[in-house]
Chain A
């Protein structure tokens, strides 16, 4: 212990006496460990950490897999059958998101709520902050009770404990708040309140009877479950599959459908898991480069300390003792670097969370806590041993008599190890650079995609209506009233109503069945996205009418059902002109026009077949206004607020966003990861440049006598300059070759994250290799200039 404390004391002292080395090493380590820790925090919070509920590994999402292979929502009848027969599940709950207008206690407010069945909190077991949650054993469907979230309790109710037990009106229905859930209960994401459905399934959002009868055609809610304690996940999976098969066998409309029970923790992050792991790998590369850099510094320092090591050996220090001392120094260095790294991680994490896209799942779970501190400590000690071991082993094997005589000026083998470190750094940096190049190219191509509609001077306003207060007729009158008022206002004259917004979460679809065509089996049916639009939508959004006519005021609720279809849907008509043909949407609907395709779900998804229906004939309480205007967001928001208030003063408007904002939101995740990887690549480039600079500086210092001899023999300073630059570039060149091979292999791992970008794009590989060689040449410039200025006489005297 005494020896250890002595080693630690000497380590600190030796660092103080080498401030340049210490500064560069600590900065490198702080950036490497800090960056790694911050990204690990992000990945831990989003992907690795268990969900915060009791026994959360037993919570599963029930995915209904449609005949086409896509994951779809549940119908009431399928859900009821599954819930009744799944004995391996101790609780099954259904839920759907809902807009909830809260009145009866202060100002009316609109919050994001979730309408659930009674077993919701049997699945998501969590102790309430106040009051109680509802459960299947204690609360009958239809009890007018709600649980609110902690944030809404604090922000809207002033953290007043008397809220529990009080009555408020939720969407006009008197409801008792029975409990407050802690902040960490956030499922589904952004939900601030949970209300108990009046039925044993969530009510239909369309105001139809889909929630009451045995319909299996309308899929509108999500199902989750808890695997019973005496059953394994695999049992539950097999049982729900078997039940789904039985349903499919017994109902021709469900043919080819299946159900899977997927752990919720995996399901929630399925879309971002690969990206998160790529980020973690990328930052791991940065850490490796940092290690190689510090190891290189330590080897150089070890070379400079050969006399000291030789003296220690001559005084009786054994190899183990020397290795322990040198390792202690590197671990102490790493621990100080790790401490600084934790600070860097704290700041970086704040930046990461600030810049992270809002739709990144589980962002609330991202924190720096004891798990992260343990990770940082483990990383730090690991890094200390990793970068310290080789220099320690190298330095502790002195050529004693030579080192005592010349102080360790000779020693090419140690430069050899440093060469390997620099080659490794350059290679790793190139892999990251190419990864970043691919990601950025992919992102640029994604953003350059034409979605098929106007993206500038468009403002969107969500105008959702509480179903409890607005019948279908009332919805139609409301939207018509608002639209008329907006079109009468010069600022919002080019307005239209629509559902759903581009790149929004809303979605409705149906099989595209052309009446008169031979019926296809379910697996081969073309699915079409259903859109509800008002007249004026085409001109506001910039969609082109290719054939037929636009909707007009004659296409009212009482008029004959009509539809526009997109170009992609035309092929379903088998070469016939679709105008005048009828499609089956529960009733025959006549096609009156064909419009251009759009990418509605995301820029990366190719256009899908779409059917547009007049909002007067297909009204939904989730519509919004799209306004083409140069008037700006504020002017539009106030015009829409005024129009809504004239019809219903208690009704708040929803989010107001420009189309550019909607697109930016939808590309938030690729933008986030592209920028992060680009940052890591920049850092890696910097560290590699420092590594090359350090090695060449060291080599020049070692070769001063040789350079002196060369100059004395008539070499020109420029020849010496070329000699030094050449030795650096040769190393960088080897690193580039190794890096190109490694990048070629590694790029395949990110191919799933790329859009319209080949993993072997030669331009990216060649241009970034040249960039790295140029930076390496620049890193050699200063030592090369120093070599040019060597005075032969001084150099030869030092020999």
Chain B
């Protein structure tokens, strides 16, 4: 599903160059649940944003299914991203001005899904995530765990084949974190490929594989 070959990212500071990622080679199969781990500054989030196509300033080869992301224009990358990727952020990033319903509806509206179809899809997700009663609330009326639940609902509503999660439980209590990880496990069991960045061994244990990064290099993969 994903094939990375010699991915590198660096910043220039005058004459010197600082590498954030060095010669990253990795393969992720469909249905996999991969945890990216490593100390702060290892390049975990950077790698995730490259996978999510939020970052285009890198070198190397990145294949997603049959699409050579490294060769695509910004417009085509956007198309591929819309088609395959859902993203979950550590700090949820729900839009404060939108209700729970509208937040979940947003990715569908950006994919030009018809309104009647969207209504059915959002209703289905609200039901699956058991948050129908909260659909008219605004994010600031929800707890952290509830907000992350909504963020995951928003990430999966467009039925992506790949979910990228950047420390999804980083701002949550342990119990809330467990609930979220259980949810990821269920999504993975249902066929969604998941790549998460985490510091937590416990969270990594929900996954099938771990990629360890240090100073931009993959130091361990199991």
Across the interface, do A316 and B107 meet the contact criterion of CB distance under 8 Å? yes
A10 interface contact, C-beta 8 A: yes
- Rounded to whole angstroms, the CA-CA distance of A321 and B93 in the bound complex is 19
Contact partners of A14 in chain B: CB under 8 A? 97
Across the interface, do B109 and A6 meet the contact criterion of CB distance under 8 Å? yes
A308's closest neighbor in chain B, by CB? Answer: B95
Contact partners of B81 in chain A: CB under 8 A? 316
Contact partners of A321 in chain B: CB under 8 A? 110
Across the interface, do A315 and B97 meet the contact criterion of CB distance under 8 Å? no
**Residue among A3, A318, A401 having the largest count of chain B Cβ atoms under 10 Å:** A401
A contacts, CB < 8 Å to B: 2-3, 6, 10, 13-14, 17, 307-308, 310-318, 321, 400-401, 404-405
B106's closest neighbor in chain A, by CB? Answer: A315
Known: A17-B97, A316-B107, A316-B111. 19 other contacts (CB 8 A): A6-B109, A10-B102, A14-B97, A17-B96, A307-B93, A308-B96, A310-B93, A311-B89, A311-B95, A315-B106, A316-B81, A316-B158, A317-B110, A318-B75, A400-B49, A400-B55, A401-B49, A401-B54, A404-B49
B52 interface contact, C-beta 8 A: yes
User: CB-defined interface of B68-112 with A at 8 Å, one 1/0 digit per residue?
Assistant: 000000010010011000010100010111100010001101110
Contact partners of A17 in chain B: CB under 8 A? 96-97
Shortest CB-to-CB span from B153 to chain A, Å, is: 12
Across the interface, do A315 and B154 meet the contact criterion of CB distance under 8 Å? yes
Shortest CB-to-CB span from A317 to chain B, Å, is: 5
Contact partners of B97 in chain A: CB under 8 A? 10, 13-14, 17, 308
B115 interface contact, C-beta 8 A: yes
Question: Restricting to B148-204, which residues have a CB under 8 Å from any CB of A?
Answer: 154, 158
B59 interface contact, C-beta 8 A: no
Given contacts A17-B97, A307-B93, A404-B93, A312 and B106 within 8 Å (CB-CB): yes
Shortest CB-to-CB span from A8 to chain B, Å, is: 13
Could you show 9 A-B contacts with beta carbons less than 8 Å apart?
A: A2-B115, A308-B96, A310-B93, A313-B54, A315-B87, A316-B82, A316-B110, A316-B111, A400-B49
Interface footprint category on B: 20 to 34
- Rounded to whole angstroms, the CA-CA distance of A313 and B87 in the bound complex is 11
Contact partners of B49 in chain A: CB under 8 A? 400-401, 404
Pick the residue among A13, A314, A317 that contacts B52 (CB under 8 A). A314
- Rounded to whole angstroms, the CA-CA distance of A274 and B131 in the bound complex is 67
A313's closest neighbor in chain B, by CB? Answer: B54
Contact partners of B55 in chain A: CB under 8 A? 400-401
- Rounded to whole angstroms, the CA-CA distance of A401 and B98 in the bound complex is 22
Pairs of residues from A and B, 9 with the lowest C-beta to C-beta distance, nearest first: A316-B110, A400-B54, A401-B49, A311-B93, A316-B82, A315-B107, A317-B110, A401-B55, A401-B54
Across the interface, do B54 and A318 meet the contact criterion of CB distance under 8 Å? no
Across the interface, do B110 and A314 meet the contact criterion of CB distance under 8 Å? no
Contact partners of B212 in chain A: CB under 8 A? none
B contacts, CB < 8 Å to A: 45-46, 49, 52, 54-55, 75, 78, 81-82, 87, 89, 93, 95-98, 102, 106-107, 109-111, 115, 154, 158
Across the interface, do A314 and B82 meet the contact criterion of CB distance under 8 Å? no
A318's closest neighbor in chain B, by CB? Answer: B78
- Rounded to whole angstroms, the CA-CA distance of A317 and B82 in the bound complex is 9
Contact partners of B95 in chain A: CB under 8 A? 308, 311-312
Contact partners of A2 in chain B: CB under 8 A? 115
Given contacts A13-B97, A308-B95, A314 and B87 within 8 Å (CB-CB): yes
A3's closest neighbor in chain B, by CB? Answer: B109
Shortest CB-to-CB span from A122 to chain B, Å, is: 64
- Rounded to whole angstroms, the CA-CA distance of A315 and B88 in the bound complex is 10
A13's closest neighbor in chain B, by CB? Answer: B97
Across the interface, do B93 and A10 meet the contact criterion of CB distance under 8 Å? no
- Rounded to whole angstroms, the CA-CA distance of A321 and B96 in the bound complex is 19
- Rounded to whole angstroms, the CA-CA distance of A315 and B82 in the bound complex is 8
Shortest CB-to-CB span from B197 to chain A, Å, is: 12
A9's closest neighbor in chain B, by CB? Answer: B102
Contact partners of B115 in chain A: CB under 8 A? 2
Contact partners of A3 in chain B: CB under 8 A? 109
- Rounded to whole angstroms, the CA-CA distance of A307 and B90 in the bound complex is 13
- Rounded to whole angstroms, the CA-CA distance of A316 and B110 in the bound complex is 6
- Rounded to whole angstroms, the CA-CA distance of A314 and B151 in the bound complex is 12
Shortest CB-to-CB span from A322 to chain B, Å, is: 10
Contact partners of A10 in chain B: CB under 8 A? 97-98, 102
Pick the residue among A308, A316, A401, A404 that contacts B78 (CB under 8 A). A316
Pick the residue among A13, A318, A405 that contacts B110 (CB under 8 A). A318
Across the interface, do A404 and B107 meet the contact criterion of CB distance under 8 Å? no
Contact partners of B93 in chain A: CB under 8 A? 307, 310-311, 314, 404
Contact partners of B154 in chain A: CB under 8 A? 315
- Rounded to whole angstroms, the CA-CA distance of A313 and B78 in the bound complex is 9
- Rounded to whole angstroms, the CA-CA distance of A6 and B99 in the bound complex is 13
**Residue among B52, B55, B87, B95 having the largest count of chain A Cβ atoms under 10 Å:** B95
- Rounded to whole angstroms, the CA-CA distance of A14 and B98 in the bound complex is 9
Contact partners of A401 in chain B: CB under 8 A? 45-46, 49, 54-55
**Residue among A17, A311, A315 having the largest count of chain B Cβ atoms under 10 Å:** A315
Shortest CB-to-CB span from B41 to chain A, Å, is: 13
Contact partners of A312 in chain B: CB under 8 A? 95, 106, 110
Shortest CB-to-CB span from B58 to chain A, Å, is: 11
- Rounded to whole angstroms, the CA-CA distance of A315 and B105 in the bound complex is 10
